[in-house]
Amino acid sequence: MRSDRLDFLRHDEDRLARTLPEALNQGERDVVLTNWPMWARASQLPPDGNWRVWLIMAGRGFGKTRAGAEWVRMVAERDHSARIALVASSLHEARSVMVEGESGIMTVSPPHMRPRYEPSLRRIVWPNGAQALLYSAAEAEALRGPQHSHAWCDEIAKWDDNQGQARRCWDNLMLGLRLGDAPQIVATTTPRAVPLVRRLMAQVSEDGDVVLTRGSTLENEANLPGRFIADVTREFGGTLLGRQELDGELIDDLPGALWTRALLEVCRETTAVPAMKRVIVGVDPPASAEGDACGIVVCGLGDDGVARVLTDATVEKASPERWARAVAETARTWSADRVVAEANQGGAMVEAVLRAANATLPLRLVHATRGKAARAEPVAALYETGRVRHAGMFARLEDELCGLLPGGTYQGPGRSPDRADACVWALTELMLGRTGEPRIWFD
């Protein structure tokens, strides 16, 4: 096939899919549409060389899952004796993402080589006899004993590493990777500075034993909805979280920081948010009319006793009238039980401005006797014990939280952690009493 024709096909898959039935029979059409090297970007194809681990660390929407699934398919179709381990953070994710997902193994396989999935046995069997078994990284001991020739590990940065669980799972997998002439692992993940990812990054070297592919969300822009690109660019562009989740950059945590990226990921909630029995709006007003951001963060307490960060409604470079209206509107939208606002910088002014926006605002002013980072320490302890979750991703707020250090130091973006302070006030009101200074509850 001519190279210019191949370039055309690579960039016009939809048009080709519409016109193929006119030129080819169904079998031929399936062969062309499932010819992964024809459609893949170079970064989605296995690297050259005698590598042992191929680490694909890239932003969301890059096409990591598709690359992993297609690699498994290639191995299985070429080697009837292949025994492949499929490892995810849970068995549910192994099945819903790696096997049955939109870019999973079953979806990308052509009809004539589509494998049989046996859920009760956690097994996939190809027509030629190749097999894959599903594992959960939460059950590290399940990988002690079984032997494999290949493995695909998905989102390794999400694997629970409590007491070294994720690393123990990886080690057990490696010890069992002893079938065939050249055992290999593909690990696909969004970058997070967790111990397992750090260990693999340290092993990337010129000898090609561990090969790293990096990439950003925008590399796959042609296959992503325009609205998605616009939304994530607006929400996360210019943030540290955006550099991690979109650009595929590994962001190191500050040594000793009260919050880490890994901790926030553990506390992130992707399921439906339960009903809240109490909702608080935390406010950190700017120090002057020309100040920077007015931190406005909404937190709620569920019937399960867990607090949740619900939204970050912070406004930047706003006049007193504007930020006061934003506070009042946020309280109305979320049916807040109370607005807690720091009043160290002109308490009477803060109250007057907020009352002018809404005279009936359920307002409570608090006065801080310690610095922002020092106030945050007992709140960070709530995260450590699983008593706070984030109902979504709040890039700028999370960047600020990860910039707070013990002893009152802030080394995050901007001059002041206004969003983080608003969040701390709201969670203090919900979980640590109403003294205006955090206290730790002991069970």
* Distant-in-sequence, close-in-space partners of 131: CB < 8 Å, separation ≥ 6: 82, 83, 84, 123, 124, 125
Do residue 205 and residue 332 come from a single domain?
Answer: no
**Rounded to the nearest 5 degrees, what angle is found at the Cα of 328, between the Cα atoms of 326 and 334?**
100
User: pLDDT-derived band of residue 291, with 50, 70 and 90 as boundaries?
Assistant: low
What integer pLDDT is reported at residue 412 of this predicted model? 85
User: Cβ atoms within 10 A of the Cβ of 273, count?
Assistant: 13
Residue 12 has pLDDT above 70, yes or no: no
- Mean of pLDDT values over 412-432: 92
Do residue 117 and residue 216 come from a single domain?
Answer: yes
Q: Domain for residue 251, yes or no?
A: no
- Please name the residue that has the structure tokens 């992964």: 36
DSSP 297: E
- Mean of pLDDT values over 292-309: 94
User: Cβ atoms within 10 A of the Cβ of 360, count?
Assistant: 8
Q: Distance (Å, rounded) from C-alpha 138 to C-alpha 157?
A: 13
DSSP 96: I
What integer pLDDT is reported at residue 240 of this predicted model? 82
Minimal CA–CA distance to 143: which of 80, 74, 100, 86? 86
Q: Domain for residue 196, yes or no?
A: yes
What integer pLDDT is reported at residue 80 of this predicted model? 96
How far are the Cα atoms of 156, 262, 263, 299 from residue 389, in angstroms, in the given order?
21, 13, 10, 10
Q: Domain for residue 167, yes or no?
A: yes
- The alpha carbon of 303 is separated from its chain's Cα centroid by a whole number of angstroms, namely 26
What integer pLDDT is reported at residue 435 of this predicted model? 43
Do residue 291 and residue 344 come from a single domain?
Answer: yes
User: Of the given ranges (284-298, 336-350, 428-442), which has the lowest mean pLDDT?
Assistant: 428-442
Residue that is last in its domain, among 176, 194, 223: 223
Q: Please list the residues that pair with 284 across neighbouring strands.
A: 295
Helix, strand or coil, per DSSP, at residue 443: coil
What integer pLDDT is reported at residue 442 of this predicted model? 35
Do residue 300 and residue 385 come from a single domain?
Answer: yes
Residue 13 has pLDDT above 70, yes or no: no
Do residue 290 and residue 194 come from a single domain?
Answer: no
- Label residue 163 left, alpha or beta by phi (over 0 means left) and psi (-120 to 50 means alpha): left
Do residue 285 and residue 414 come from a single domain?
Answer: yes
Q: Distance (Å, rounded) from C-alpha 394 to C-alpha 245?
A: 12
Average per-residue pLDDT in the chain?
87
Q: Domain for residue 175, yes or no?
A: yes
Q: Domain for residue 440, yes or no?
A: no
Do residue 271 and residue 176 come from a single domain?
Answer: no
- Mean of pLDDT values over 431-435: 70
What integer pLDDT is reported at residue 3 of this predicted model? 38
Q: Distance (Å, rounded) from C-alpha 36 to C-alpha 74?
A: 9
User: Of the given ranges (74-83, 273-282, 434-443), which has the lowest mean pLDDT?
Assistant: 434-443
Give the pLDDT confidence of 52-106 residue by residue, as tens digits: 999 999 999 999 999 999 999 999 999 999 999 999 999 999 999 999 999 999 9
User: Of the given ranges (112-116, 128-132, 360-364), which has the lowest mean pLDDT?
Assistant: 360-364
Q: Please list the residues that pair with 136 across neighbouring strands.
A: 88
Residue type, 25: N
Q: Domain for residue 231, yes or no?
A: no
Residue that is last in its domain, among 223, 239, 269: 223
Helix, strand or coil, per DSSP, at residue 139: coil
* Domain CATH for 113: 3.40.50.300
* Domain CATH for 347: 3.30.420.280
What integer pLDDT is reported at residue 355 of this predicted model? 85
Owning domain of residue 188? 34-223
User: pLDDT-derived band of residue 17, with 50, 70 and 90 as boundaries?
Assistant: low
Q: Distance (Å, rounded) from C-alpha 90 to C-alpha 135?
A: 7
Give the pLDDT confidence of 236-250 residue by residue, as tens digits: 887 888 888 899 988
Residue that is last in its domain, among 164, 199, 223: 223
Q: In this structure, are strands 83-88 and 150-154 parallel, antiparallel, or unpaired?
A: parallel
User: pLDDT-derived band of residue 372, with 50, 70 and 90 as boundaries?
Assistant: low
Minimal CA–CA distance to 158: which of 133, 131, 129, 187? 187
Residue type, 56: I
- Mean of pLDDT values over 320-331: 93
User: pLDDT-derived band of residue 356, with 50, 70 and 90 as boundaries?
Assistant: confident
Do residue 58 and residue 201 come from a single domain?
Answer: yes
Do residue 215 and residue 299 come from a single domain?
Answer: no
Give the pLDDT confidence of 202-217 residue by residue, as tens digits: 999 767 899 999 999 9
Which one is predicted more confidently, 221 or 408?
Answer: 221
Q: Distance (Å, rounded) from C-alpha 213 to C-alpha 120?
A: 34
- Mean of pLDDT values over 308-324: 93
What integer pLDDT is reported at residue 21 of this predicted model? 52
* Cβ burial 135-165 (10 Å sphere, 16+ → b, else e): bbbbebebbeeeebbbbbbbbbbbbebeeeb
- Mean of pLDDT values over 392-397: 90
Helix, strand or coil, per DSSP, at residue 382: helix
Do residue 311 and residue 402 come from a single domain?
Answer: yes
Do residue 274 and residue 391 come from a single domain?
Answer: yes
Q: Domain for residue 439, yes or no?
A: no
Do residue 218 and residue 266 come from a single domain?
Answer: no
Q: Distance (Å, rounded) from C-alpha 85 to C-alpha 87?
A: 6
Which one is predicted more confidently, 68 or 6?
Answer: 68
**Counted domains in the chain:** 2
Q: Token digits for 23?
A: 């030129």
Residue 16 has pLDDT above 80, yes or no: no
Residue type, 439: R
Query: pTM value?
Result: 0.69
Q: Domain for residue 237, yes or no?
A: no
